[in-house]
Amino acid sequence: MKLNPLRRMGSVCMLFMFSLQARETLTPEPAMGWEEAFVLQNDAIQITVVPAVGRMTFLGGTGEANFLTHDENLAGRMPSQEEGDWMNYGGDWLWAVHQDTWKAMGGSVWPPLRMLDLPWRGDAWIEEDGTQVVHLRRDLGAPVFAQLQRRFVLEPGDSPQLRVEQSVSRVYASPVPISLWQISQIDGAETVLMGLRADSRFGNGHRQVGFNAPVDEAMRHLENALAVNTGLLTETKLGTDAHWIAAQRGDRWESRGANSCTLRRAGSGICRCLRNRKPSNTAM
Protein backbone atom coordinates (compact mmCIF):
# COMPACT_ATOMS: atom_id res chain seq x y z
CA MET A 1 0.00 0.00 0.00
CA LYS A 2 1.36 3.47 -0.91
CA LEU A 3 1.17 6.37 1.54
CA ASN A 4 0.46 9.79 0.16
CA PRO A 5 3.15 12.47 0.82
CA LEU A 6 1.13 14.25 3.50
CA ARG A 7 0.78 11.11 5.57
CA ARG A 8 4.49 10.38 5.30
CA MET A 9 5.26 13.94 6.42
CA GLY A 10 2.95 13.54 9.40
CA SER A 11 4.80 10.39 10.46
CA VAL A 12 8.15 12.18 10.36
CA CYS A 13 6.79 15.08 12.41
CA MET A 14 5.42 12.75 15.07
CA LEU A 15 8.80 11.02 15.41
CA PHE A 16 10.57 14.38 15.67
CA MET A 17 8.18 15.60 18.37
CA PHE A 18 8.72 12.39 20.29
CA SER A 19 12.49 12.86 20.23
CA LEU A 20 12.11 16.37 21.66
CA GLN A 21 9.85 15.15 24.44
CA ALA A 22 12.44 12.55 25.46
CA ARG A 23 14.54 15.22 27.18
CA GLU A 24 13.73 17.13 30.35
CA THR A 25 14.07 20.91 30.33
CA LEU A 26 16.09 22.39 33.19
CA THR A 27 14.91 25.60 34.83
CA PRO A 28 17.57 28.16 35.78
CA GLU A 29 18.03 28.75 39.50
CA PRO A 30 19.77 31.34 41.71
CA ALA A 31 23.44 30.48 42.27
CA MET A 32 26.66 32.30 43.18
CA GLY A 33 24.95 35.69 43.33
CA TRP A 34 23.22 35.34 39.95
CA GLU A 35 19.44 35.10 39.62
CA GLU A 36 19.56 32.61 36.76
CA ALA A 37 22.19 29.88 36.51
CA PHE A 38 22.35 26.23 35.55
CA VAL A 39 23.99 23.83 38.01
CA LEU A 40 25.06 20.45 36.62
CA GLN A 41 26.51 17.64 38.71
CA ASN A 42 27.46 13.99 38.47
CA ASP A 43 29.27 11.75 40.98
CA ALA A 44 32.66 13.32 40.20
CA ILE A 45 32.33 17.00 39.28
CA GLN A 46 29.97 19.95 39.47
CA ILE A 47 29.70 23.02 37.24
CA THR A 48 27.69 26.25 37.28
CA VAL A 49 26.98 28.15 34.05
CA VAL A 50 25.53 31.68 33.99
CA PRO A 51 23.87 32.41 30.63
CA ALA A 52 23.74 36.20 31.14
CA VAL A 53 27.54 36.47 30.91
CA GLY A 54 28.23 33.35 28.83
CA ARG A 55 30.47 31.87 31.48
CA MET A 56 31.11 28.77 33.47
CA THR A 57 31.52 30.29 36.91
CA PHE A 58 32.12 27.10 38.92
CA LEU A 59 34.12 23.96 38.21
CA GLY A 60 35.05 21.61 41.00
CA GLY A 61 34.86 18.13 42.38
CA THR A 62 31.44 17.31 43.76
CA GLY A 63 31.25 18.88 47.22
CA GLU A 64 34.63 20.62 46.78
CA ALA A 65 35.84 24.19 46.31
CA ASN A 66 35.73 26.09 43.04
CA PHE A 67 38.73 25.56 40.76
CA LEU A 68 37.94 28.77 38.86
CA THR A 69 38.22 32.38 39.97
CA HIS A 70 34.96 34.13 40.86
CA ASP A 71 34.60 37.78 41.86
CA GLU A 72 31.73 37.81 44.35
CA ASN A 73 31.61 41.62 44.26
CA LEU A 74 30.62 41.54 40.59
CA ALA A 75 28.14 38.68 40.83
CA GLY A 76 24.70 39.67 39.56
CA ARG A 77 25.93 42.93 38.06
CA MET A 78 25.92 43.77 34.36
CA PRO A 79 28.11 46.42 32.70
CA SER A 80 26.65 49.62 31.30
CA GLN A 81 26.09 49.99 27.56
CA GLU A 82 28.88 52.56 27.29
CA GLU A 83 32.41 51.43 26.56
CA GLY A 84 34.68 51.48 29.58
CA ASP A 85 36.29 49.33 32.21
CA TRP A 86 35.92 45.60 31.71
CA MET A 87 34.14 43.61 34.44
CA ASN A 88 36.29 40.56 35.14
CA TYR A 89 33.80 38.11 36.63
CA GLY A 90 36.36 35.30 36.47
CA GLY A 91 35.53 31.75 35.43
CA ASP A 92 35.66 30.37 31.91
CA TRP A 93 34.52 32.33 28.84
CA LEU A 94 34.99 32.75 25.10
CA TRP A 95 35.79 35.57 22.68
CA ALA A 96 35.22 35.31 18.92
CA VAL A 97 37.90 37.86 17.98
CA HIS A 98 41.51 37.71 19.12
CA GLN A 99 42.98 40.62 21.07
CA ASP A 100 45.38 41.44 18.22
CA THR A 101 42.38 42.64 16.16
CA TRP A 102 40.54 44.79 18.73
CA LYS A 103 42.34 48.02 17.87
CA ALA A 104 41.57 47.64 14.16
CA MET A 105 37.89 47.27 15.07
CA GLY A 106 37.82 50.74 16.58
CA GLY A 107 38.66 49.74 20.13
CA SER A 108 41.99 49.42 21.88
CA VAL A 109 44.35 46.65 22.92
CA TRP A 110 42.50 46.72 26.27
CA PRO A 111 39.73 46.55 27.40
CA PRO A 112 37.60 44.50 24.96
CA LEU A 113 34.69 46.17 23.20
CA ARG A 114 31.30 45.55 24.84
CA MET A 115 29.99 43.85 21.71
CA LEU A 116 32.65 41.14 22.03
CA ASP A 117 31.56 40.17 25.55
CA LEU A 118 27.77 40.41 25.84
CA PRO A 119 24.92 39.57 25.68
CA TRP A 120 24.46 35.78 25.77
CA ARG A 121 21.35 33.63 26.11
CA GLY A 122 20.97 29.96 26.91
CA ASP A 123 18.92 26.95 27.92
CA ALA A 124 19.60 23.53 29.46
CA TRP A 125 18.14 20.03 29.52
CA ILE A 126 18.70 16.41 30.56
CA GLU A 127 18.89 13.80 27.81
CA GLU A 128 17.04 10.49 28.07
CA ASP A 129 20.26 8.73 29.18
CA GLY A 130 20.81 11.25 32.01
CA THR A 131 23.37 13.42 30.19
CA GLN A 132 23.06 17.08 31.25
CA VAL A 133 23.54 19.81 28.66
CA VAL A 134 23.80 23.62 28.79
CA HIS A 135 23.63 25.45 25.46
CA LEU A 136 24.77 29.09 25.20
CA ARG A 137 24.62 31.25 22.09
CA ARG A 138 25.04 34.84 21.02
CA ASP A 139 25.06 36.90 17.84
CA LEU A 140 27.75 39.47 17.08
CA GLY A 141 26.72 42.33 14.82
CA ALA A 142 28.85 44.77 12.82
CA PRO A 143 31.70 44.59 12.09
CA VAL A 144 32.11 40.91 13.08
CA PHE A 145 28.82 39.39 11.83
CA ALA A 146 29.19 35.99 13.49
CA GLN A 147 27.36 33.59 15.78
CA LEU A 148 28.95 31.93 18.80
CA GLN A 149 27.71 28.73 20.45
CA ARG A 150 28.90 26.84 23.53
CA ARG A 151 27.63 23.47 24.79
CA PHE A 152 28.63 22.05 28.18
CA VAL A 153 27.92 18.31 28.25
CA LEU A 154 28.17 16.33 31.50
CA GLU A 155 27.51 12.60 31.39
CA PRO A 156 26.08 10.71 34.39
CA GLY A 157 28.24 8.50 36.61
CA ASP A 158 31.71 9.12 37.98
CA SER A 159 33.48 10.52 34.91
CA PRO A 160 35.57 13.62 35.75
CA GLN A 161 35.31 14.84 32.15
CA LEU A 162 33.19 17.76 31.00
CA ARG A 163 32.74 17.96 27.24
CA VAL A 164 32.81 21.53 25.90
CA GLU A 165 31.64 21.97 22.30
CA GLN A 166 32.17 25.42 20.81
CA SER A 167 31.63 26.91 17.37
CA VAL A 168 31.82 30.25 15.62
CA SER A 169 30.23 30.80 12.22
CA ARG A 170 30.07 33.77 9.90
CA VAL A 171 26.61 35.27 9.31
CA TYR A 172 27.62 37.94 6.77
CA ALA A 173 30.86 38.77 5.00
CA SER A 174 33.37 40.66 7.14
CA PRO A 175 37.09 41.47 6.99
CA VAL A 176 37.42 40.86 10.75
CA PRO A 177 39.02 37.44 11.39
CA ILE A 178 37.15 35.20 13.83
CA SER A 179 38.45 32.54 16.19
CA LEU A 180 37.57 30.53 19.28
CA TRP A 181 39.58 32.22 22.04
CA GLN A 182 38.65 30.45 25.26
CA ILE A 183 39.92 31.74 28.60
CA SER A 184 39.90 29.86 31.92
CA GLN A 185 40.96 31.71 35.06
CA ILE A 186 42.21 29.17 37.61
CA ASP A 187 42.07 30.29 41.22
CA GLY A 188 45.53 29.89 42.73
CA ALA A 189 47.12 27.82 39.95
CA GLU A 190 50.64 26.78 40.96
CA THR A 191 51.83 25.14 37.75
CA VAL A 192 50.60 25.48 34.17
CA LEU A 193 51.44 22.94 31.48
CA MET A 194 51.12 24.01 27.84
CA GLY A 195 51.40 21.57 24.96
CA LEU A 196 54.23 22.13 22.48
CA ARG A 197 54.18 21.03 18.85
CA ALA A 198 57.28 19.68 17.11
CA ASP A 199 56.19 21.57 13.98
CA SER A 200 55.25 24.77 15.84
CA ARG A 201 55.34 28.00 13.84
CA PHE A 202 56.93 29.63 16.89
CA GLY A 203 60.68 29.28 17.29
CA ASN A 204 60.57 27.55 20.69
CA GLY A 205 56.97 26.34 20.56
CA HIS A 206 55.41 29.31 22.31
CA ARG A 207 55.29 33.09 22.25
CA GLN A 208 54.61 35.97 24.60
CA VAL A 209 51.18 37.45 23.84
CA GLY A 210 51.15 40.32 26.30
CA PHE A 211 52.19 41.90 29.59
CA ASN A 212 55.64 41.18 31.06
CA ALA A 213 58.18 38.73 29.66
CA PRO A 214 58.50 35.65 31.91
CA VAL A 215 61.85 34.96 33.57
CA ASP A 216 63.70 31.88 32.32
CA GLU A 217 63.60 30.31 35.80
CA ALA A 218 59.80 30.17 35.62
CA MET A 219 59.72 27.95 32.53
CA ARG A 220 60.93 24.40 31.94
CA HIS A 221 60.75 22.55 28.63
CA LEU A 222 59.55 18.95 28.81
CA GLU A 223 59.42 16.47 25.96
CA ASN A 224 56.16 17.81 24.53
CA ALA A 225 55.11 20.53 26.95
CA LEU A 226 56.13 23.75 28.62
CA ALA A 227 55.87 23.76 32.43
CA VAL A 228 55.37 27.23 33.93
CA ASN A 229 55.87 27.95 37.64
CA THR A 230 53.35 30.73 38.29
CA GLY A 231 54.97 31.59 41.61
CA LEU A 232 57.93 33.05 39.71
CA LEU A 233 55.81 35.23 37.40
CA THR A 234 54.49 38.76 37.74
CA GLU A 235 51.86 39.16 35.03
CA THR A 236 52.40 37.59 31.64
CA LYS A 237 50.44 36.05 28.81
CA LEU A 238 51.90 33.12 26.86
CA GLY A 239 50.47 31.28 23.88
CA THR A 240 51.18 28.07 21.96
CA ASP A 241 49.76 26.55 18.79
CA ALA A 242 49.24 23.16 20.43
CA HIS A 243 45.83 21.82 21.37
CA TRP A 244 45.85 21.36 25.12
CA ILE A 245 46.68 23.10 28.39
CA ALA A 246 46.57 22.01 32.05
CA ALA A 247 46.74 23.73 35.43
CA GLN A 248 47.59 22.40 38.88
CA ARG A 249 46.43 23.58 42.29
CA GLY A 250 47.24 21.39 45.27
CA ASP A 251 46.39 17.79 44.38
CA ARG A 252 43.99 18.78 41.59
CA TRP A 253 44.73 19.13 37.89
CA GLU A 254 42.46 20.60 35.25
CA SER A 255 43.42 19.54 31.73
CA ARG A 256 41.78 21.04 28.67
CA GLY A 257 41.92 19.67 25.15
CA ALA A 258 40.26 20.77 21.93
CA ASN A 259 36.78 19.89 23.18
CA SER A 260 36.96 18.64 26.75
CA CYS A 261 37.84 19.70 30.26
CA THR A 262 38.97 17.11 32.81
CA LEU A 263 39.39 17.57 36.57
CA ARG A 264 41.63 14.93 38.14
CA ARG A 265 43.63 14.17 41.25
CA ALA A 266 47.39 14.52 40.88
CA GLY A 267 49.07 11.30 39.81
CA SER A 268 46.44 10.28 37.28
CA GLY A 269 46.01 10.53 33.56
CA ILE A 270 47.76 13.03 31.33
CA CYS A 271 49.25 15.12 34.12
CA ARG A 272 51.13 12.25 35.77
CA CYS A 273 52.53 11.30 32.38
CA LEU A 274 53.87 14.76 31.71
CA ARG A 275 55.22 15.38 35.19
CA ASN A 276 57.32 12.21 34.96
CA ARG A 277 58.90 13.03 31.60
CA LYS A 278 62.54 14.10 31.58
CA PRO A 279 63.21 17.69 30.52
CA SER A 280 64.52 18.04 26.97
CA ASN A 281 67.66 19.93 26.03
CA THR A 282 65.73 22.76 24.41
CA ALA A 283 67.32 26.04 25.39
CA MET A 284 65.31 29.13 26.24
DSSP state of 120: -
Query: 252: closest CA among 43, 67, 63?
Result: 67
* Number of neighbouring beta carbons within 10 Å of residue 108: 11
pLDDT (tens, 9 = 90+) of the chain, 284 residues, equals 444 443 333 444 444 444 455 789 999 999 999 999 999 999 999 999 999 999 999 999 999 999 999 999 999 999 887 887 889 999 999 999 988 899 999 888 888 998 898 889 999 999 999 999 999 999 999 999 999 999 999 999 999 999 999 999 999 999 999 998 888 898 998 999 999 999 999 888 998 887 888 899 999 998 889 999 999 988 888 888 888 889 998 888 888 775 556 666 554 333 333 333 333 222 22
- For 205, residues 6+ apart whose C-beta sits below 8 A from its C-beta are 196, 197, 221, 226, 240, 242, 282
Distance CA 71, CA 50 (A): 13
- For 274, residues 6+ apart whose C-beta sits below 8 A from its C-beta are 193, 222, 224, 225, 227, 246
* 111 in Cβ contact with 86 (< 8 Å): yes
- As a whole number of Å, the end-to-end CA separation of the chain is 76
| SS3 of the chain: helix, strand, coil, percent, to 5 | 15, 40, 45
Rg, the chain, Cα only? 21
* 255 in Cβ contact with 225 (< 8 Å): no
User: What pTM was estimated for this model as a whole?
Assistant: 0.83
* 52 in Cβ contact with 36 (< 8 Å): yes
